[in-house]
Every structure is written in structure tokens, then in C-alpha cells.
A and B are shown apart, each in its own frame.
Chain A
Amino acid sequence: MKFITAIFLTAFLAFSIGLFTSLPWWSFVITSFLVALGVHQKVGKAFLSGFAGLFLLWAILAIMKDMANDHILAVKVAKILPLGGSYWALILVTGLIGGLVSGLAAISGSTARKK
């Protein structure tokens, strides 16, 4: 239950702070850290829920944008980056990058607490 709660909270708070678009894109580092600090889990689980929260958030947001856009832009950007023009690869990379940063922040949150 804690695991699911942590994922949900991580995603929700990251989304909320992300609405303030003049803040840096990595502002969710703070919220993911706080979630891991508040919802206590072992380091491994904290990482996984931090990762999953942002992975899901970013991938789902990206998929929504991409579907509405008929993949027009994602295909082009996936050629620039270069990901062979695959919008799925681009969505995956988007999710992974958000997830990785958030997961690491969650480890910090988890380890910041006394055992």
C-alpha cells in the first residue's frame, strides 16, 4: 500500500509543481525527496516508487500530447535526438529520464531518515 501511495504522491506532486512552468524542470526533485522522506520505505522500494512515479507521469503526459498530435512532432524529434524516428522510443526515454532523476531523489529522501 505504501508503495502505491508513494508512486501516486510522487506523480501528483511532481505534476502540481510542474504547473509552475517558470520553475526549473527538475523541481520535482524536491517533491520526490519529500515523498520518500514522508512515506518511509526501504531504499530499494523508495527508489522504485520514486522512479515509477515520474516515469508514469512523464510517459503518460507525453503519450497524451503525442496521440493528440498524430505523432507529427515526436517522429521529427526522434530523428534529431537521434532515436531512429520512433515516437515510442522517445516516450520511453522521456519516462526514463524523469524516472531516474526522481528515483535518485527518493533514495536521498529515504536515507535522510533515521532507521
Chain B
Amino acid sequence: MRIIPFLISTVATAGLVFVLNTSLPVGSSKTPRLGYFLSPQQGFWQNAEASNTSFSGDVKLEGLKGKVDVFMDERLVPHIYAQTDLDAYYVQGYIHAKFRLWQMEFQTYVAAGRLSEIAGPERLNIDLFFRRLGMVYGAEQTMQRMEKDREMQATVDAYTEGVNAYIKSLKPEQIPLEYKLMDYKPEAWTPLKTYLFLMYMSYDLTGSGAKQDLKMSNAKNYLGFEAFDQLFPNVQDSLDPIIPTKAIAFAKPSIIPIAPKDIDSPYLNKSSFSSSAESPMTPNRNNGSNNWAVSGSKTASGRPILCNDPHLGLNLPSLWYEVQINTPTHNTYGASFPGSPAVIIGFNDSIAWGVTNAGRDVLDYYEVQFKDSSMHEYWFNGEWRNASLRLETIKVKGKPDVNEYIAITELGPVMYDHHYKSDSTHPKYLAVKWTANNAGTGLKTFYKLNRAKNFNEYQTAIADWSCPGQNFAFASKSGDIAIKQQGSFVARWKRQGDFIMPGIDSTYQWQGMIPASENPMIKNPSRGWVSSANQKATDTSYPYYLGMSHNFPVYRGVMINKRLSVMNGITPMDMQYLQNENYDVFAEMARPVLLKNIDVSKLTTTEKKYVDILREWNFRNEVTSQGATVFNSIWDSLEQVVWKDDFQNAKSPMPWPDESTLLDNLLKNNNYRFADNLNTTDKVETIQDDVLEAVKKASVNLEQLEKNKKLDWGIVKDTKVSHLLQLPALSRLHLPIGGGANCINATTTAHGPSWRMIVHMTDETEAYGVYPGGQSGNPGSKFYDNFIDSWAAGKYFKLLFLSKENATKNEKIKWHMTFTNG
């Protein structure tokens, strides 16, 4: 033995193995363990799915009651045929896990505030935010309530077993790519994870209040209520509500909330209730959607057509997963959430349904007065009351655990305290009251909708839906159409909960929830269609306060109703065009007022050129539209010019007024008070001055864009569908798609129609759908992103809605999986 060479080579081998077996920091991220990651028998190569992979096979699962057949079509959509509902959900869990396991688990890590556990201390802020908002608490509340409902408990349990059966069957080398990249392993699924995921959806759709109430409070304190009320008015001139004006006489309210007597002094006016606490993340303000249903009187076939496109963040793997579930109790097709049983948006043999976000304010803050910083006692209704402390332990990769204590009061969990706060403010104690934290029945609504046969069963199905509030559109084969805004909504006095409220007694408490029977609903209206696009549900004749106008975009709704009102003899093909409509009705209203106020004699040749492009634009936000770029650039500059000086001394984050507020005022007022630039003392600026300045500012930007050949709207907007880890290599970038926030095709940079569905209620259901993703969550599969190009081009897939008999012989069915007990 040659000792020295032996030792040297052995140490070198061990050293190399050690380095290749360690995650090394690169910038802010870490490399995978390279040796493991590159090993062809264990690492990422194992995730390179052969393009001719067969998905057929016989699977033995413990606990199945009977045989389950799953036919996979050419787009990898599973058609599940089971003898019992529980078997179907068991297999749905298995299939979700087989194709989307990493995503399912990752989303629940986010919701549960556990990202630091897998991604390290950089994500601690997000974890703290979700823990303190009460996400885990809320999911636990829902779970406890649902466990009292045998049917739902059994459903979620069966689904959980299915997910776990798949996880158990996984060999180490088969775990999804992202686990290998981030170097961790799947853990067992639990019912709580399903509820955490649904809680995340509640957050995504109603959680904007978590930041908005703080920012609005800042703005109110900064501007004073009077100016605030002008900049954030509760009137929208162009509003075309979901329930058409005067279509319905609303019933007398069963609750008449009474505003506190002292409302003017501590609440609305400048007061001590200021806070600049900031949350690290907020749901996208564009989280909205379109849905509509037209009755047979307006269609070529004489049968209703229902359409829905929920707008959400565009991610890979997609939030949605298509599935057909067929059991003796129901036969349902649609988009499901990996992480939850049943179909969320879809149709069955009798009805179709679709949802949009209601946008109602269901999250409020109360300022709590604690005796001392131990947070054991707080002052409420003239006495000291005991608060309990909830411990949240956050594991952090490579670091010691972080323990968070959250005081729980009658007003809700205390989200912000002396310890969790923004550095720039005095410590306040803010309890968060949020309907998502009050045990809901969540899944049950979808469970029932999956089985609903008619209008009455639809009504019953959604009656208990609490959070996030949704506009449920409905159409049936028997010819009914309807829409109802359903959720657990607070009966508010005007402006209640728009700002942080005092929490020392019950005066500012919620005085009751609006009964489901009094939520806005309309069935078979004479105009022949129902629709919603996140606008306010009603005109002012509705007896309850709907919340700040800021929460309700106006223009998509206007556009949808405008188009539908003139459409007749409608076919599904017409609906495809309508969902992809790139016409910007906001621009149509805004351009005349811009052009009217531009003094062309004061423009340079270049500036004139852009004004000409604007003048000749056809209001369509197409990929190649330069007019859309010019319009948006000038409008953005105008907002800067008008608002910037009014907010320039703001030390805390504040929202800017809505575009509808600015437009409404430009249309109405020649002398708009806020047009004046506060920085020029010698002059009072007019709207003309502001528009001119905006054109000049925008032109500088536009010239730059044109120089780089980037004036086309599609290039400026630059739509992308990003992988959940924001890795560009796993994302689809620079997609050629038009649209915009105010178009029916509400596609913006990272946000847009996440599932487009059209259902024609003919005897044999005719349905179309597409989403920007693919059925497989594996970036190494050709099914990972294979729908994206069709989606961007506005194309659809005809949805295969098959009886079992037809499934066995349909030529688009490519694979057959069987599941039996064993």
C-alpha cells in the first residue's frame, strides 16, 4: 500500500463527494446538490418524461371499494368512472398527486407560512405575514367545522388517502423535479392541507383588505376625510351593476346597521388611528373574472350558453387541472384545484356554473388596547379581558426555529403588535377580523354544485358559501339562467371598515351578517342574460353598503353588457370571440377628453406624431397595436401629473385614486381641484396644463420604446406565465397575446384569464375550455405547457364529456388506467 498517494486520493474523493453533495450558495439562491441532481439514476434526468410515455396501467390501492377506470384523453385529461363517490375522490387525489404533487404541497407551504422551512430565512417575512393573518388558525376552524359533516369529512379523507397512496408508491428517484432542485422530500398529505389551500384562495380573493385598510387609513389621515372622500368616492358614473338598475325591487333589509355616534371624531377625521404598517405582499388588484350566461332567447340553438374566465396570477404549474368525474350520483366535468376534491368551475349533465370574485370587503382591523406588552389583558367594554396567546413555530432551513406569539382576542387574532410591525411607526395593536377565519363550509358548496340538477339545487348548494364571496353564474338544460352574489357579508354602515376601527368597545363591531336570502340575485331577467365582471353588484337601491368603490372595477362589466345587448342568435364560437375581446372601453371613454384638452400648437413634431397615433387608434389592444401603448403611456403620465404632488409628502404607503375617479372628474369638471400642481405657487394648473405635460412626459418614454422597436402593445405588456419558483427557464415568457386590465380579455403582464370555459346547454353538452398551462406539472413533460400557445391565440379545446361506454371507444382516449383494491 502506498500510504501517501492513497491518503491523498481518498481525501480528494471524499472532498469532491462532499462538495457535490452540498447545496452551495450562488447569489441569493442555492444550487442543488450537483452530484445528486446530475446523477442519471436519481437526479433530474429521471424527470425527463419520454415523449411516448404510456399512462396506462393497473394500480392496486388499499381501501378502494370497487374498480375505478380512468381514461386519459390526448390532452392528458383524466375521465374518472367509479362505482362510489368516495372511490372517485380517492382516485382524484391519486391523480392530482401523480401529475401535480410538488405544486399541491408547495401551495400549502405558502398558505401555512412554512416557506422558510424549505427555502431558508429569506422567506421568513412572508411566513410571518401568513401566520399572523391567521391562515393556519382559519384552516383549523374550517376543518373542525367540516369534521362534523360526515359526508364532507369522508370526501376529504378519501381524497387525502388517494394523495398519500401515490406519495407512498413514489420511489426516491421519481419525486418531482422541484424537490430535487430545492433538496427536500414530499411529506404526507392531510385534510388540513386541503383546507389550507382553500384558505389560500380566500386570501388571494379577499385578502387585499389586509393592506388596503392600512393604506386607506394612511390616505384618510394624510388628506383629511373631505379630500379623501373626493378622491375615493363611493360613486362610479359608468357603473353597470351585476343586477341591472331598476330590474329588481330589493326587499327591506333585516338588519339596519347603525353607525356609532362619535364616528366623526375618532374614525373619519384625522385621528390617532394612524398606522403605516405594511404587509410584505398583497393579492393582485386585478384578481377578477368574467362570467355570463345567456338564455335560449338569445342563442342560435335556443339553449342557454354559460361562459366563465376567472382572472388570476398566471403560473406554472397551473392552478387548474381538468377532470371528469363520473359516479352513479353525478357526471361532472371542469377545472379542479390540485389539493382539493371535486370540480370547482364546470358543468354536469344538467347545469353549468361559473364564478367571479365579489370583491366585497370582509377583512377589517381593530385597534386593541392592551394593559401592557405581555398582551394578556385588553380593555373592552369597560373592563380588562383576558387574551390567549397562540404559539406559531416557524422552522427555518439552516437556522433555529422562530417562535411567534399571537394574541387572540374577541376582535380576532392580533396581527400587528409591538413585535411584528413596520419600523417607521409607533407600535399599535391591530386585531384582524376576517370572515375567512370564521369556520366556513367551503368545499360543500362545490360538492353540491357538482351534483345539482336545477335552479333550486343550485340555490341550495351556494346558500352556505361564506368566503371568498363570489358571483355564481348558472345555466341549466331546462333553460334557466341566474346569477347570485353569495358569501358571508357584513351588514355595514357606510364606510364601516374602510379604515382601521377603534376596538375598545362593541360600538364599531360588526352588527350582523346579511342573510343569504338578501344577497343580490337575479333569475331569467327579461334582457336575456346575466353577467358579472367584479363590478358592484347593485345600484344604490340595494339597502346594504357594498364597500369602497376602489374594490370594484367598472369597465369590463360595461363592455360585456354592451356587447351582449346587441348579440342575438349566439353560438359558442361567438362566445369564444367575446372572451378574447381586446376592445378597451375605458380608452373609448377617455380618449375624447384627452384629445379635447391637447393644444396641438404646443407640441413638437414627435409629440404630434404620438397624438396622431392615439387619434387614429381603433381602441383595440392587439399584440401589434401601437395606439394602445401610446394611450396607456399618456394615461399613466397623466395620473402621475395629477396625483403625484397631492401625495408627495406622504411618508407612509397610500393608494392612488382609481382611473375611473380621474376619468369621471375629467368628464364632469373643467376646473378639477386636484389638477393644480401644489409645487407651483405662482400658477393654478388646469386640466389642459396637466394633459399637455402628460403628453410631453409620455412622448419621451414612447420615443425610447420606438427606438428599441418596442412600441407594439404586445411587447410592452410582455405577458408571461411564470413557474411558481419564478425560474425563467421553467416559465413561458414573451407570449404574443393582446388584451389589458379593462378589456374582456383581461390579460396583463403576469395576470389574466386562468381558465376560459364555454358551455352550451344542448341535449348533448357542447363545451370548450383552455387554460394557460398543461395537465402535467412536470417541466420535463411535453404536457407541462402544451395549452399555452392555444390560450394565447384565443383558441379552445372541445371538452370531451363522455359516458363510460363512449369513453372506451372514443378515438381521443389514449390511455386507460384501472384502480382496484389490493
| Interface residues in chain A, defined as those with a beta carbon under 8 Å from any beta carbon in chain B | 15, 18-19, 21-22, 24-26, 29, 43, 57-58, 61-62, 65-66, 68-70, 72-74, 76-77, 79-80, 85, 93-94, 97-98, 100-101, 104-105, 107-108, 111-115
Most buried by A among B41, B46, B727: B41
Q: Which residues of B contact A85 (CB under 8 A)?
A: 729
Task: Please determine whether A62 and B45 come into contact, CB atoms closer than 8 angstroms.
Answer: yes
From A25, A72, A111, give the contact of B6 (CB < 8 A): A111
Q: Which of A73, A94, A98 contacts B779 (CB 8 A)?
A: A73
Q: Which residues of B contact A62 (CB under 8 A)?
A: 40, 45
The dominant DSSP class at the A interface is helix
Q: Given A77-B729, A108-B10, A111-B9, A101 and B51 touching (CB < 8 A)?
A: no
Q: Is the CB of B1 within 8 A of A111?
A: yes
Is B42 in contact with chain A by the CB < 8 A criterion?
A: yes
Cross-chain contact B728 with A79 (CB below 8 angstroms)? yes
Chain B residues, CB < 8 A from A61? 40-41, 45
A18 to B46, CA, bound (A): 13
Give the nearest-CB partner of B44 in chain A: A77
- Residues A29 and B41 in contact, CB atoms below 8 Å apart: no
B400 to chain A, nearest CB (A): 27
Stretch from B14-22, B337-345, B538-546, B734-742 contacting the other chain = B14-22
* Cβ of B286 to closest chain A Cβ, rounded Å: 28
Judged by a CB distance under 8 angstroms, whether B13 is at the interface is yes
Contact: B50 with A76, CB < 8 Å? no
Please tell me if B35 contacts chain A, counting CB pairs below 8 Å. yes
**A69/B13 in contact, CB under 8 A:** no
Q: Are A26 and B35 in contact (CB under 8 A)?
A: yes
Given contacts A69-B50, A70-B782, whether A76 and B729 have CB atoms under 8 Å apart is yes
CA distance A25 to B782 in the complex (A): 27
Q: Is the CB of B34 within 8 A of A97?
A: yes
**The residue from A65, A97, A108 contacting B48, defined by CB atoms under 8 A apart:** A65
CB of B780 within 8 A of chain A? yes
- A74 pairs with B729, CB closer than 8 A: no
How close is B29's CB to chain A, nearest CB, in angstroms?
10
Given A65-B48, A73-B47, A73-B48, verify A104-B16 contact (CB < 8 Å): yes
Chain A residues positioned under 8 Å from B46 (CB to CB) = 65
Q: Do B13 and A111 touch across chains, with their CB atoms under 8 A apart?
A: no
The residues of B that contact A111 with a CB separation of less than 8 Å are 1-2, 5-6, 9
B254 within 8 A of A: no
User: Does B17 contact A68, Cβ atoms closer than 8 Å?
Assistant: no
B730 to chain A: closest residue by CB: A76
Contact call A72/B781, Cβ cutoff below 8 A: yes
Residues of A contacting B727 with CB < 8 Å? 80
Q: Does B172 contact A (CB under 8 A)?
A: yes
| Contact assessment for A107 and B5 in the assembled complex, using a CB-CB cutoff below 8 Å | yes
Q: CB of B171 within 8 A of chain A? A: yes
Residue contact B20 to A112, C-beta cutoff 8 Å: no
B238 within 8 A of A: no
The SS class assigned to the B binding surface is helix
Contact A73 B782 (CB under 8 A): no
Top 9 closest A-B pairs, CB basis?
A: A73-B780, A61-B40, A79-B729, A69-B48, A68-B50, A107-B9, A18-B41, A25-B39, A111-B6
Binary interface profile of B, 634-650, with partner A (CB < 8 Å = 1, else 0)?
A: 00000000000000000
Closest B residue to A17 using CB positions: B41
Whole-angstrom CA separation of A79 from B526 in the bound complex: 57
How many chain B residues touch A (Cβ–Cβ < 8 Å)? 44
State the Cβ distance, B464 to closest chain A Cβ, in Å.
44
Using Cβ atoms and an 8 Å threshold, which residues of chain B touch A18? 39, 41-42
Would you list which residues of chain B between 752 and 795 have a CB under 8 Å from chain A? Answer: 779-782, 784
Q: Is the CB of B40 within 8 A of A94?
A: yes
**CB contact under 8 A between A101 and B780, given known A61-B40, A66-B45:** no
Q: Across the interface, do A65 and B45 meet the contact criterion of CB distance under 8 Å? A: yes
Bound CA–CA A70/B48 (angstroms) = 9
Cross-interface CB contact of B17 among A58, A73, A101, A113, cutoff 8 Å: A101
Q: Which of A57, A72, A97 contacts B38 (CB 8 A)?
A: A97
Give Cα A30 to B704, complex, Å. 62
Residues in B with CB closer than 8 Å to A108 are 6, 9-10, 13
How many angstroms from the CA of A22 to the CA of B113 in the assembled complex?
30
CB-defined contacts of A25 to chain B, threshold 8 Å: 21, 35-36, 39, 41-43
A94 and B39 CA atoms in complex are apart in Å by 7
Contacting pair B51 A69 (CB below 8 A): yes
Q: Determine if B52 is an interface residue (Cβ-Cβ < 8 Å).
A: yes
Q: With a CB–CB cut-off of 8 A, which chain A residues contact B17?
A: 26, 29, 101
Cβ of B48 and Cβ of A66 under 8 Å apart? yes
Compute how far the CA of A35 lies from the CA of B1 in the bound complex, rounded to whole angstroms.
16
Q: Assuming A68-B52, A76-B779, A97-B38, what are 11 further A-B pairs, CB within 8 angstroms?
A: A18-B39, A21-B172, A25-B21, A25-B35, A73-B49, A74-B48, A76-B729, A94-B40, A97-B35, A101-B13, A101-B35
Check A114/B171 contact, CB under 8 A, given A68-B51, A101-B35: no
The answer to whether A94 touches B41 (Cβ under 8 A) is no
Residues on A with beta carbons closer than 8 Å to the beta carbon of B685: none
What are 25 A-B interface contacts by the 8 Å CB criterion? A19-B41, A25-B39, A26-B21, A29-B13, A62-B45, A65-B40, A65-B48, A69-B48, A70-B51, A72-B782, A73-B45, A73-B48, A73-B49, A73-B780, A76-B729, A80-B181, A80-B729, A98-B39, A101-B35, A104-B13, A105-B13, A108-B13, A111-B2, A111-B5, A112-B6
